Structure 1
Amino acid sequence: MSRSWERKVQKNQSQLNKQRKKQGMAPLMASKTASSPIDTYKGRSLLMPAFLLVFTAVYASISIAQGTYKDSGNMFWITIGCYIFLALLFILRRPYLAIGKDFVRSRRFAGDRTLYLSSIKGISVQKGSVIIEQPKGGSWVFSRLFNRYPTDEMTERLRTFAAANNIPFAEK
């Protein structure tokens, strides 16, 4: 069955289930996620927030020590607040890797990105890191050191994903 047909069926099913929910009736059948589970592995971004907080502390201490913050007025404190808010955003917006039946999805700087089978060249696994290679563009790297991913669990799931979809899988 083609992917576009599956999307149309899923869209119509979700609309019908919304109508049935408003009427107090049970949904017709389970959603797509129940029939093809998506395994999600979340990490924790600590490096970028730590860098932002250290940068903010250095900037604030130098500006206060020299007295230059008085010239900018409230803008100095707004800038400090914005850097702290940005660090908090990076902490709360956790990176992840979601593995479905025929795709992998991850959060990148520009938003969520999805790689389908045709876009995956190979998967390489090293101790503490997982690399998903693309034919063009940069590889996706998931590291235990930088983003606190559970790489051992990810390795096992990606091994079965690669075997089911005939994707080259290399362990180093």
Structure 2
Amino acid sequence: MNSLTHLTNNIPWQRLTTAYGRGTDIPRLIETGQYEELASLIEHQSTLWQTTPWVLLILLKELAKQKPEQVSSQEIQLYLAVASAINVDEMDSQNAVESMNELLDEKYLWPEDEEDDELWWEEEEPRGYEQEAFFSYFSFSYSLLKDSIPVFTAIMEGNDKLAPDIGELLLMLQSEEASADE
């Protein structure tokens, strides 16, 4: 079993939500490189979802292994969409859970049975969307993107077609970093 399959199989996708329901299809979408569809599931109207940091974790690990010319524009657009949803000025790490793995605790996961999902969404704070957990989707996503700046820089230097989009992404991450330092 390759590391991608192992990592993907250890995440309870069917108990994590996306912008359009459960994350059950995410492993297949990752495996087949369906970045546009993934982007619409993990970022929607400047909101990040339970699945977002996990998708980023997997994609960014794989991105680091790719040659610059192998990277697609759609994948970079996915990272841009996530980065554009993050407002670092509102971030304070004290509001996040301690580790990403904590987001897979039972108290944040949706039930196995999807029958009552509509009722779950109608709750004032649906499971996994309590303030601390919700903030953590943004916080960990930002950390993962920021940690990948060297990877993005290397791709930008080796792929002229992607350079403008990656430059925009790096500016977002660096300007957010500067805002966070002020």
TM class, shorter-length: under 0.3
Higher helix share: 2
If the length of structure 2 is used for normalisation, what is the TM-score? Answer: 0.23
Q: Which has the higher contact order (CA 8 A, sep 6+)?
A: 2
Greater Rg by CA? 1
Higher strand share: 1
If the length of structure 1 is used for normalisation, what is the TM-score? Answer: 0.24
